[in-house]
Amino acid sequence: SFDQMDSIQAIRKMQVKKAFDDHFNSIRIWANSGQIIESMSVLREQLHGSTDWSETDIPRDILLDSDMDALLGDFLKKFAEIYAYHDVFILCPKNGHVLYSLFEGPDLGANLSQGPLQETGLAHVWKQAMASGATAVSDFEAYGPSNNMQAAFVGHRIVGGDGEVLGVLAFQLSPGFVEALMNSTKGMGDYNLKGSKDQAFPFDFNADGQSDIFLYRPDSNLVGIMRSHGDGSFEQVYYSH
């Protein structure tokens, strides 16, 4: 009946909203993770103490020679693969310089506060995240550096332990992200690390020197984070639904 169809659509809408909320919550978690904050400290040191290049673009070769990809690349590539993110960016707080691009796109080093990218969704997310402190989201629209592919962006401020705003972590969403979201399996279930599909990667989530665990299940896009207590036990601090 039409009533049943309306009910199913309403339930599905709630499921999709919940899934989007989970994804955006994960961005807030990663933006304030020890691994991201540590990488910003390393980059500042390599840029001689400053990520502020005023109104100019930063030469790509300087950023490509940094240790950012060694610190973040493998982990973020897996994260991008799971969630169908087209790219992951780290932006400087003052002028929106693209300090890091996971896939080293043509926008690496660009200044978002002026020039050809100042009216893009990425620039919008940088401005909104810096101004509000909340997670910022742009609409889908053509994005020049990605060959005018339709793209939306989600970003959140990176805040250090002393409260200093270090930049913005931003994810580029492609139409494939929405498709993957609609087709994703709901429900958590137990991870089985002895199985052939579930996989785990060590990483220091909160920069305390302990080996935390990033878990994922490729066939259902499930992701989990287990934080180490340092005594062989772990606490689940995040999982996707």
Segment 125-143 shows an average pLDDT of 90
The pLDDT tens digits of the residues spanning 189-219 come to: 454 544 546 666 666 555 566 767 767 666 6
Mean pLDDT lowest among 1-10, 22-31, 158-167: 1-10
Least confident of 29-38, 94-103, 115-124: 29-38
Task: Kindly report, residue by residue over 80-108, the tens digit of the pLDDT.
Answer: 777 778 899 999 998 899 999 999 999 99
pLDDT mean over 1-9: 42
Q: What is the mean pLDDT of residues 55-80?
A: 79
Given a cut of 80, whether residue 163 has pLDDT beyond it is: yes
Confidence of residue 125 (pLDDT cuts 50, 70, 90): very high
pLDDT at residue 12, rounded to an integer = 47
189 against 135, higher pLDDT:
135
Find the mean pLDDT for residues 25-54: 75
Average pLDDT over residues 118-142: 91
pLDDT, position 172: 92
Higher pLDDT among residues 119 and 214, named by residue: 119
Percent above pLDDT 90 for the chain: 24
Rounded to two decimals, what is the model's pTM? 0.69
Q: What's the pLDDT tens digit per position in 40-61?
A: 888 877 776 555 556 677 888 8
DSSP the chain: -HHHHHHHHHHHHHHHHHHHHHHHHHHHHHHTSHHHHHHHHHHHHHTTT----TTSPPPHHHHHTSSHHHHHHHHHHHHHHHHTEEEEEEE-TTT--EEEETT--TTTT--TTSSTTTTSHHHHHHHHHHHHSS-EE---EEEGGGTTEEEEEEEEEEE-TTS-EEEEEEEEEPHHHHHHHHHPPP------TTSSS-EEEEE-TTSSS--EEEEEETTTTEEEEEEE-SSS-EEEEEE--
